[in-house]
Amino acid sequence: MNKTDWRLIEDGPMDGRLNMAKDWAILTACERGEAPATLRLYGWDRPTLSIGYSQNELRDVDRAQCERRNIPIVRRFTGGRALLHQFEFTYCLVAPIPHSGFPGSLAGAFAVVSQAVIASLKKAGVVNPEMVGRGKRTLGHNRSPACFSASNHWEITVMGKKLAGSAQRRLNKAFLQHGSILMDWEPDLAHSLFRYSSESEKSQGLKSMTSKTLTLKGVLPVKPEWQELAHCFAGGFQDTFPGSWKKETLSLLETELMEGYLKENGIMSSVKGLGNTFDCSQGL
DSSP the chain: --TTEEEEEEEEEE-HHHHHHHHHHHHHHHHTT-S-EEEEEEEESS-EEEE-TT--HHHHB-HHHHHHTT--EEE-SS-S-BEEESSEEEEEEEEESS-TTS-SSHHHHHHHHHHHHHHHHHHTT--S-EEPPTT--B---TT--BGGGSB-TT-EEETTEEEEEEEEEE-SSEEEEEEEEESS--HHHHHHTB--SSHHHHHHHHHHHHHSB--HHHHSSSPPPHHHHHHHHHHHHHHHS-SEEEE----HHHHHHHHHHHHHTT--SB-TTSSS--B-SS--
- The pLDDT assigned to 275 comes to 41
pLDDT bracket for residue 139 (50, 70, 90): very low
- The pLDDT assigned to 203 comes to 80
Q: What percent of the chain has pLDDT over 70?
A: 86
* Residue 271: pLDDT over 80: no
Q: What is the pLDDT of residues 193-227, one digit of tens each?
A: 988 877 878 788 788 788 889 999 999 999 899 99
pLDDT bracket for residue 143 (50, 70, 90): low
Among all residues, which ones are annotated catalytic?
A: 147
Q: What is the pLDDT of residues 231-265, one digit of tens each?
A: 999 999 999 999 999 999 999 999 999 999 999 88
- The pLDDT assigned to 3 comes to 66
- The pLDDT assigned to 144 comes to 56
pLDDT bracket for residue 2 (50, 70, 90): low
- The pLDDT assigned to 30 comes to 98
Q: What is the pLDDT of residues 63-102, one digit of tens each?
A: 999 999 999 999 998 888 889 999 999 999 999 999 999 9
pLDDT bracket for residue 155 (50, 70, 90): confident
In this predicted model, which residue has the larger pLDDT, 283 or 200? 200
- In the CATH hierarchy, which fold is given to the domain comprising 5-251? BirA Bifunctional Protein; domain 2 (3.30.930)
In this predicted model, which residue has the larger pLDDT, 280 or 158? 158
* Residue 44: pLDDT over 90: yes
- The pLDDT assigned to 269 comes to 44
Q: Average pLDDT of the chain?
A: 86
How much is the average pLDDT of 12-26? 96
- The pLDDT assigned to 13 comes to 95
- In the chain, domain spans: 5-251
In this predicted model, which residue has the larger pLDDT, 207 or 136? 207
